[in-house]
């Protein structure tokens, strides 16, 4: 188990990504993935109010609704659900009144009394940060939200958020969710991890598997032959440099009887401040690799080998 920052959230060190629910996993497939994840010891689920509004016919909130129905049906003990605000088509941005309405809508879809971990999904510079920080603080004061967090914020804006929260005496963020994995390192390591270290924030990386590239199933930058809507985004990493990372993961994984996917998740867990990488599974068959990634411990030499082979990663790759 791992503690998220200074919070009292003590979770399984791998968070199940919820953007597949209502997208590439229908309700039954989503229930099966959630069942397999929790049966294997998982207890931390990541979603957002906007998932999966981009799918034709959807309007946003589908993932939260599926998770809510699953919670009502299974009544699991101690499952931690994180969700996010600012991207739902009906609740865009981070103005105070919108944050309140969006949180209430998320609570209704999830069917819970309080949100365990509530993220500002993307920064909204059209609203004074003081207003947003106050709105999140009020949600905690009123008991709608237990812990707050930020996603896709720059290091400077996270500092600003914390400075405002300290000055105005409202709840501080406990976690930060950036795009971070073996093929997307520099920006996070240079600008976000130092802030997380300074303020005791738990890092909860997303795209932990680089949309599937870090499972080793993409060996060419040509996505042809892969049906997943994630294929284009994943295959682009299959350059010579990217495939050297896959080869190193494969060799290190073999020494542990672990898959490439599990080994790449274990590398993330070994990075400073990382509490729990997020990865999604479209099918039950994909879940065991995620669970294994939460348990595999790499040696310092193995982490160093992976650091070295992935050092080329350009900022914003």
Ligand X SMILES: NC(=O)c1ccc[n+]([C@@H]2O[C@H](COP(=O)([O-])OP(=O)(O)OC[C@H]3O[C@@H](n4cnc5c(N)ncnc54)[C@H](OP(=O)(O)O)[C@@H]3O)[C@@H](O)[C@H]2O)c1
Q: Which positions touch ligand X (CB under 6 A)?
A: 17-20, 24, 46, 151-152, 177, 206-212, 215, 217, 228, 230, 261, 278-282, 286, 289
3-state secondary structure of 94: coil
Burial 224-257 (b: 16+ CB within 10 A, else e): eebebebbeebbbbbeebbbebbebbeebbeebe
Given the complex with ligand X, which of 168 and 268 has the nearer CB atom? 268
Report the nearest approach of ligand X to the CB of residue 92 (Å): 15
Report the nearest approach of ligand X to the CB of residue 261 (Å): 5
Report the nearest approach of ligand X to the CB of residue 20 (Å): 5
Given the complex with ligand X, which of 23 and 199 has the nearer CB atom? 23
The separation between CA 186 and the C-alpha centre of its own chain, rounded to angstroms, equals 18
- Cβ atoms of 164 and 129 within 8 Å: the answer is yes
Report the nearest approach of ligand X to the CB of residue 44 (Å): 11
Given the complex with ligand X, which of 36 and 166 has the nearer CB atom? 36
Catalytic residues: 51
Given the complex with ligand X, which of 19 and 313 has the nearer CB atom? 19
Q: Please, what is the end-to-end C-alpha distance for the chain in angstroms?
A: 31
Retrieve residue 316's tokens: 């914003």
Residues 73 and 281: their CA atoms lie apart, in Å, by: 20
- Cβ atoms of 10 and 2 within 8 Å: the answer is yes
Name the residue whose CB lies closest to ligand X. 17
């Amino acid at each position: 188990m791992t503690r998220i920052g200074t919070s009292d959230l003590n979770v399984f060190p791998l968070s199940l990504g919820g953007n597949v629910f209502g997208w590439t996993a229908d309700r039954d497939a989503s229930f099966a993935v959630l069942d397999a994840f929790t049966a294997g010891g998982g207890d931390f689920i990541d979603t957002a109010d906007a998932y999966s509004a981009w799918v034709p016919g959807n309007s946003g909130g589908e993932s939260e609704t599926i998770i809510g129905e699953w919670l009502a049906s299974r009544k699991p003990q101690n499952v931690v659900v994180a969700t996010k605000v600012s991207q739902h088509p009906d609740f865009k941005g981070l103005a105070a009144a919108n944050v309140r309405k969006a949180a209430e809508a998320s609570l209704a879809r999830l069917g819970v009394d309080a949100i365990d971990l509530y993220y500002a999904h993307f920064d909204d510079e059209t609203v004074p940060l003081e207003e947003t920080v106050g709105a999140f603080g009020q949600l905690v004061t009123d008991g709608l939200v237990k812990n707050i967090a930020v996603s896709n914020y720059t290091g400077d804006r996270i500092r600003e958020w914390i400075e405002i929260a300290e000055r105005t005496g409202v709840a501080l963020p406990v976690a930060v969710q950036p795009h971070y994995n073996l093929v997307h390192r520099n920006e996070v390591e240079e600008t976000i991890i130092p802030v997380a270290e300074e303020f005791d924030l738990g890092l909860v990386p997303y795209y932990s598997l680089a949309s599937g590239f870090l499972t080793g199933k993409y060996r060419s930058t040509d996505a042809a032959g892969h049906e997943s809507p994630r294929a284009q985004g994943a295959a682009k990493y299959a350059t010579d440099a990217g495939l050297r990372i896959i080869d190193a993961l494969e060799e290190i994984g073999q020494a542990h009887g672990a898959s490439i996917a599990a080994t790449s998740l274990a590398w993330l867990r070994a990075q400073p401040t990382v509490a729990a990488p997020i990865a999604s599974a479209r099918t039950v068959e994909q879940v065991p690799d995620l669970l294994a990634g939460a348990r595999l411990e790499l040696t310092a030499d193995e982490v160093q080998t992976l650091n070295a082979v992935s050092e080329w990663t350009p900022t914003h790759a």
